[in-house]
Amino acid sequence: MFGVELLKSLHRPRTYVLGACLAAVAVLPAVLQATASGGAGGPPFFDLVRHNGLFAGLAAMALIQPFFLPLGTGLLSGEAVAGEASAGTLRYLLVRPVGRVRLVVTKYLAVMTELGASVLWVTLVGLTAGLIAFGFGPLPTLSGSTLSVGAALMRTVGAMAYILIGVAGLAAIGVFLSTLTDSGIGAAVATVSVAIASQILGGISAVRAIHPYLISDQWLAYADLFRTPVVWDGIARGLLLAAVYTALFLAAALIVFTRKDVTS
């Protein structure tokens, strides 16, 4: 069933449209820095791209993280179950020897696999653009020391993994909302709204007491991988937060769906 879900995504035109859009976004840091006359500002690592092409992959990830990645997460997870219901295929899936728990878990894993492929794609395109425009070399860290190209690439892989884990909880929220409704668009919009609201609240100092519990609180902690030594506090909190959100909302999705009267 997992393989079927991935094959379905490969046969959807929107997959290739989204891939092209993400590629266009991923090359922006290298293109803008190659053509800009001075510092362009922007997301983390953006101004450092002109000094080392390795930063282009990190800047590309930082560029998609606040909006494009939550948007993709909301669309994919929101339609995971509700999309089948609106298409009238959910009952057919359950008539086959597929348990409800297996269906929800498989849908969630398929969503995370597609998101992982998106993060990998953006990073590879960004790194390729950075290599062409500026080349690779020893990477200066945020602490002032340098990393070899191999070590820098390993930490980039760690950053990719952390960013993906960071949206795992949001994907679980989307799957949970998808079990509550037959409208995939409604579940997707609600999921994206959660991500946007969390980031807005995270920027308001008056509600700083709730900041540690917001799903987006430690999304940028992967930058600490590029310090010497690595600062693990924020990364550990981010991993714990993602694990809690994922466990709670996946469990809620399973409870709701196993008790749901499926009519479509």
* Locus of tokens 């062409």: 132
Please tell me the distance from the alpha carbon of residue 104 to that of residue 254, in angstroms, as a whole number: 7
Longest dimension (CA), the chain: 62
Please, which pLDDT band fits residue 259 given cuts at 50, 70 and 90? confident
Q: What tens digit of pLDDT does each residue of 182-234 get?
A: 888 999 999 999 999 999 999 999 999 999 999 999 999 999 999 989 999 99
User: Looking at residues 99-124, what average pLDDT do you find?
Assistant: 93
pLDDT given at position 120 = 96
Beta partners for residue 147, in sequence order = 139
Q: 32-57: per-residue pLDDT in tens? A: 888 876 555 666 788 888 888 999 99
The mean pLDDT value of the chain amounts to 89
Over residues 51-110, the pLDDT tens digits come to 889 999 999 999 998 889 999 999 999 988 888 777 777 766 776 666 888 889 999 999
**What string of H, E and C letters represents the secondary structure of the chain?**
CHHHHHHHHHCCHHHHHHHHHHHHHHHHHHHHHHHCCCCCCCCCCHHHHHHCCHHHHHHHHHHHCCCHHHHHHHHHHHCCCHHHHHHCCHHHHHHCCCCHHHHHHHHHHHHHHHHHHHHHHHHHHHHHHHHHHHCCCCEECCCCCEECHHHHHHHHHHHHHHHHHHCHHHHHHHHHHHHHCCCHHHHHHHHHHHHHHHHHHHCCHHHHHHHHHCCCCCCCHHHHHHCCCCCCHHHHHHHHHHHHHHHHHHHHHHHHHHHCCCCC
Top-confidence residue, 245 or 13: 245
Residue 228 Cα distances to 45, 212, 224, angstroms = 16, 25, 9
Average pLDDT over residues 173-178: 96
